[in-house]
């Protein structure tokens, strides 16, 4: 039995939250170029690099600077840049080389830079190479092998970071002193001559042995109001050791450090040099940068070491940097290159190729997070007939280091930064657990629907499906007005429509899918009381499983919903997706003589079966109907967004307007909630939830549904960010003084403060809610160009024609 009631929230239940202050973020409107370059600006004695950079005449430094100037990155990491505690070399390279145009290249000015101590060349006090001698004096034979990281003096082979955008120095995290033994399951090397495991290093050596051969830095950079974390490192080369493979194993775990750091639930063991623990926050944007000394297929690294990053679902790898010079040189040099598995277009290092040498490899990386979008990428390795080939050259023994600049090539990637906005209001959290010590309501928030009040826009409401927690009704401040609960209904998705003919009257209606029973639950919306009352025809049966009790048991039941009002016939329809299945049912809605609402099946759309997807993962959930343009959009979670004719006699052929990664670059599975912002004459925007990277994509409503960009809803004014979003809804009409240009409501699948419970061995946040976003906040800050604000050309109460039902509230 359904129970409808108006509930006052208990005093122990968290109340709705309003943003403490408006966001002041400014969007960035162009791609940002990140580059990593092992520039071989290392010297053989302490202080020599400072001496070399003190004048503008060092030819190798000039070549390195010119490469950077030709590529013109906004952020560049330089590996093998000797560290000095005063940062003198860092400043001199900017002043005398980057800041001076080389060979008519444009000078590069980086107002922000960072360097920090490296483990290289720091005496350990132990015999780390197990040759029977402890070397603690710089310059003595064997000193580098016994140091915490290989180097003949402290700071050799350090790192330097230059940025055109502000570095948030207060939030930099360094991990120089993190101990290798403190990584769970570390690949510690083994001494085969003893029966003990992982005992190449003695316990007292492991007690001081640092994981990083140089260091690992998390450097937050502020770009257009968003933060991108530059995750920089330079793992040790996986060579210069023996059968114990101590350097190869260390290289593997140095790479693994970032893989764990960016993966939810895996970075808890991490501690930084200030004692703070934990990995990167879920949904944070990053670029992993540096010479990883590992190729995915070739060379001496532990098998698949770098694949810990390349195959990580948090890393965006749809576009890989390539060059024309790499394949040319691999063919010319031959040797080991002829037997490589990797495409030489990806190579970034020109290594010796004779004997046991590895040949050219992909060793250097700039790997952005899936929260960013790659525009293009490249490796600075020109062909031999290119005038700039002189900067990279070929191995020449007479040159210091053997090359005009370095044996590595600069690798770069251009990324766009999704607009970040904040929510103004959030609803009280619901918890999907029976353990609710503070009296929080039971529920798993999923799908919202915005109801536009016919008389007073400020009295508009938001309906929220809470699955087993029922259906909630909220006001525009996020306060709950009504809770509809049942012990036998699972309210999965909800949608609403206006002016449905109910006998001699017209009624505003809301319909939810009941996933547990494969039915629809239909309500009348009473605008005067802002309450819902059920008007489902009791004679209605199951939507998909009428002839299959097993499908009901397997929950192949009613899942997503979108209501459609035909502008041709003025008939009302409901599109219903089937969980774990391909069909979408189109149901025609009608009123009964008893004042209830019934339905009949008039059409079935069957989506194509995707390849490489588990049978239970072929489903769709998010949908939205475009009443004016007579189409329905369907988000097939592991595939992309489909577009179909919405009329019951429409074509069975759909158009896939965008695909999920890696087949497309804008959506990261699951593709979820869809909604439409209306502007004049059938124009506007289609919005979609890209659940896998917690972003939202924006397309044109009209025409070919051109992708316009993406945005994130971040933490602003005391309201947390939106993660793992399912459903969303938007309206373009004014809804009182707080939403003069319209309202966007989205589901937050991981609300803060988190309430963690174990699920199949993993901790899951069971706290969810809805976030309210003012359309003007998104429209004015959206990049690369602002979105339209149009409150007068269309109304959700008259979706098929141009009419204004509501007064326009002064902005």
- Would you kindly state where each structural domain of the chain is located, as residue ranges? 3-22+420-781, 32-120+155-416
pLDDT of res. 18: 58
pLDDT digits (tens, 9 = 90+) for 548-587: 899 999 999 999 999 999 999 999 999 999 999 999 999 9
The Cα 298–Cα 313 span in angstroms is: 23
Separation CA 119–CA 177 (nearest Å): 8
Which among 675, 660, 348, 667 has a CA at the least distance from the CA of 494? Answer: 675
> What pLDDT score was predicted for residue 371?
82
The CA–CA distances, whole Å, from 114 to 51, 90, 97, 159 equal 20, 8, 17, 9
Q: What is the CATH number of domain 32-120+155-416?
A: 3.60.10.10
β partners of residue 747: 770
Residue with tokens 């970034």: 348
Q: Tell me the mean pLDDT in the region 22-34.
A: 58
Cα separation, 236 vs 291, whole angstroms? 9
627: three-class secondary structure by DSSP: coil
Please list the residues that pair with 558 across neighbouring strands.
578
Least Cα distance to 673 among 700, 650, 702, 694 occurs for 694
Neighbours of 434 (CB within 10 A): 7
Residue 378 has φ and ψ, to the nearest 5°, of -165, 165
Report H helices in 322-388: 325-333
Residue 23 has pLDDT above 70, yes or no: no
Rounded CA-CA distance 260/796 in Å is 46
Radius of gyration of the chain from Cα atoms? 30
Length of the chain: 811
> Range with the lowest mean pLDDT among 34-38, 125-129, 342-346, 545-549?
545-549
With 60 as the cut, is the pLDDT of residue 785 above it?
yes
Give mean pLDDT, residues 490-508.
96
DSSP state at residue 495:
E
Sheet holding 640-645, edge to edge: 620-626, 631-636, 640-645, 655-659
Give the pLDDT confidence of 697-738 residue by residue, as tens digits: 999 999 999 999 999 898 888 898 899 999 999 999 999 889
Percent of the chain with pLDDT over 70: 95
* pLDDT at position 810 over 80: no
Give me the pLDDT at residue 17, please.
57
CA 593 to chain centre: 51
Q: What is the mean pLDDT of residues 749-771?
A: 88
Looking at residue 83, what is its pLDDT?
98
Q: Is pLDDT at 246 greater than 70 in this prediction?
A: yes
| CA atoms of 804 and 799, how far apart (whole Å) | 11
Return d(Cα 776, Cα 294) in angstroms, integer: 47
Q: How many angstroms separate the CA atoms of 715 and 706, rounded?
A: 28
pLDDT band at 63 (very low <50, low <70, confident <90, very high): very high
In angstroms, the CA 340 to CA 343 distance is 8
CA atoms within 13 A on the CB side of 442: 13
Q: Among 49-58, 280-289, 638-647, which is the least confidently predicted range?
A: 280-289
Angle at 369 between CA 365 and CA 372, to 5 degrees: 110
Contact present, 512 and 727 (Cβ < 8 Å): no
- pLDDT interval class at 470 (50, 70, 90): very high
Q: pLDDT band at 370, cuts 50/70/90?
A: confident
Name the CATH topology of 3-22+420-781. Answer: Neuraminidase (2.120.10)
Q: In which residue are the tokens 């009419």 written?
A: 803
3-state secondary structure of 46: coil
Which among 316, 347, 310 has a CA at the least distance from the CA of 332? 347
How far is the C-alpha of 701 from the C-alpha of 699, rounded, in Å?
6
CA–chain centroid gap for 292, Å, is 22
Question: Which spans in 228-367 are helix H?
Answer: 246-261, 307-310, 325-333
The backbone torsions φ and ψ at residue 682, rounded to the nearest 5 degrees and listed phi first, read 80, 10
């Amino acid at each position: 039995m359904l129970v409808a009631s108006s509930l006052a929230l208990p005093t122990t239940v968290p109340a709705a939250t309003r943003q403490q202050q408006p966001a002041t973020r400014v969007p960035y409107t162009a791609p940002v170029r990140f580059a990593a370059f092992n520039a071989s600006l290392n010297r053989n004695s302490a202080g020599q690099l400072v001496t070399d950079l003190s004048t503008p005449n060092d030819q190798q430094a000039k070549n390195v600077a010119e490469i950077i100037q030709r590529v013109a990155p906004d952020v560049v990491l330089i590996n093998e840049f000797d560290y000095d505690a005063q940062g003198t070399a860092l400043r001199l390279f900017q002043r005398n080389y980057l800041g001076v145009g080389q060979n008519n290249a444009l000078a590069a000015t980086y107002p922000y830079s960072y360097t920090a101590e490296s483990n290289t060349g720091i005496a350990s006090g132990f015999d780390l190479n197990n040759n029977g001698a402890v070397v603690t004096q710089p310059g003595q034979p064997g000193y580098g092998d016994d140091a915490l990281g290989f180097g003949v003096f402290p700071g050799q082979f350090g790192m330097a970071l230059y940025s055109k955008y502000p570095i948030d120095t207060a939030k930099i995290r360094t991990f120089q002193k993190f101990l290798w033994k403190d990584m769970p399951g570390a690949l510690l090397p083994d001494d085969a001559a003893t029966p003990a495991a992982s005992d190449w290093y003695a316990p007292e050596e492991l007690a001081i042995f640092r994981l990083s051969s140089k260091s690992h830095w998390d450097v937050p950079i502020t770009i257009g109001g968003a933060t991108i974390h530059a995750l920089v490192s330079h793992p040790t080369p996986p060579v210069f050791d023996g059968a114990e493979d101590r350097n190869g194993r260390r290289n593997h775990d140095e790479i693994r450090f970032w893989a764990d750091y960016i993966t939810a639930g895996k970075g808890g063991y991490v501690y930084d040099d200030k004692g703070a623990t934990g990995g990167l926050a879920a949904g944070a944007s990053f670029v992993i940068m540096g010479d990883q000394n590992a190729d995915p297929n070739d060379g001496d690294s532990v098998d698949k070491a770098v694949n810990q990053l390349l195959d990580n679902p948090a890393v965006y790898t749809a576009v890989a940097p390539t060059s024309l010079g790499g394949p040319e040189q691999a063919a010319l040099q031959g040797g080991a290159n002829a037997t490589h598995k990797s495409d030489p277009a990806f190579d970034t290092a020109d290594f010796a190729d004779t004997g046991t040498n590895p040949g050219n490899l992909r060793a250097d990386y700039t790997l952005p997070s899936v929260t960013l979008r790659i525009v293009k990428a490249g490796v600075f390795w020109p062909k031999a007939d290119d005038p700039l080939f002189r900067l990279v050259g070929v191995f020449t023994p007479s040159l210091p280091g053997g090359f005009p600049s370095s044996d590595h090539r600069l690798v770069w990637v251009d990324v766009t930064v999704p607009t970040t906005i904040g929510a103004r209001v959030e609803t009280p959290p619901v918890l999907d657990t029976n353990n609710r010590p503070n009296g929080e309501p039971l529920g798993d928030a999923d799908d919202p629907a915005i109801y536009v009040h016919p008389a007073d826009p400020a009295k508009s409401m938001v309906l929220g499906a809470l699955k087993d927690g029922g259906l909630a009704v909220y006001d525009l401040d996020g306060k709950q007005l009504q809770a509809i609960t049942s012990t036998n209904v699972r309210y999965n998705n909800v949608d609403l429509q206006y002016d449905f003919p109910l006998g001699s009257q017209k009624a505003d209606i809301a319909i939810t899918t009941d996933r547990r029973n494969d039915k629809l639950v239909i309500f009348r919306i009473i605008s005067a009381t802002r309450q819902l009352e059920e008007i489902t025809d009791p004679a209605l049966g199951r939507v998909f499983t009428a002839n299959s009790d097993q499908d009901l048991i397997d929950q192949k039941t009613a899942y997503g919903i979108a209501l459609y009002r035909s502008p041709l016939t003025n008939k009302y329809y409901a599109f219903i997706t089937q969980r774990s299945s391909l069909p979408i049912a189109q149901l025609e809605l009608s009123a009964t003589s008893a004042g209830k609402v019934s339905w009949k099946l008039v059409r079935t759309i069957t989506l194509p079966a995707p390849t490489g997807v588990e049978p239970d993962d072929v489903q769709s959930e998010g949908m939205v109907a475009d009443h004016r343009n007579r189409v329905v959009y369907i988000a097939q979670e592991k595939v992309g967004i489909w577009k179909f004719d919405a009329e019951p006699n429409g074509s069975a052929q759909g158009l896939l307007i965008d695909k999920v990664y890696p087949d497309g670059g804008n959506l990261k599975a699951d593709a979820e909630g869809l909604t439409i912002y209306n502007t004049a004459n059938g124009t506007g925007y289609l919005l979609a939830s890209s659940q896998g990277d917690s972003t939202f994509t924006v397309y044109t409503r009209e025409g070919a549904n051109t992708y316009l960009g993406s945005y994130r809803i971040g933490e602003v004014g005391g309201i947390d960010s939106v993660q793992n979003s399912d459903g969303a809804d938007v309206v373009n009409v004014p809804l009182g003084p707080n939403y003069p240009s319209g309202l966007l409501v989205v589901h937050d699948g991981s609300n803060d403060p988190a309430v963690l419970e174990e699920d199949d061995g993993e901790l899951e946040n069971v706290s969810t809610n809805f976030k309210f976003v003012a359309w003007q906040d998104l429209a004015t800050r959206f990049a690369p160009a602002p979105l339209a604000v149009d409150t007068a050309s269309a109304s959700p109460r008259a979706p098929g024609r141009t009419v204004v039902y509501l007064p326009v509230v002064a902005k």
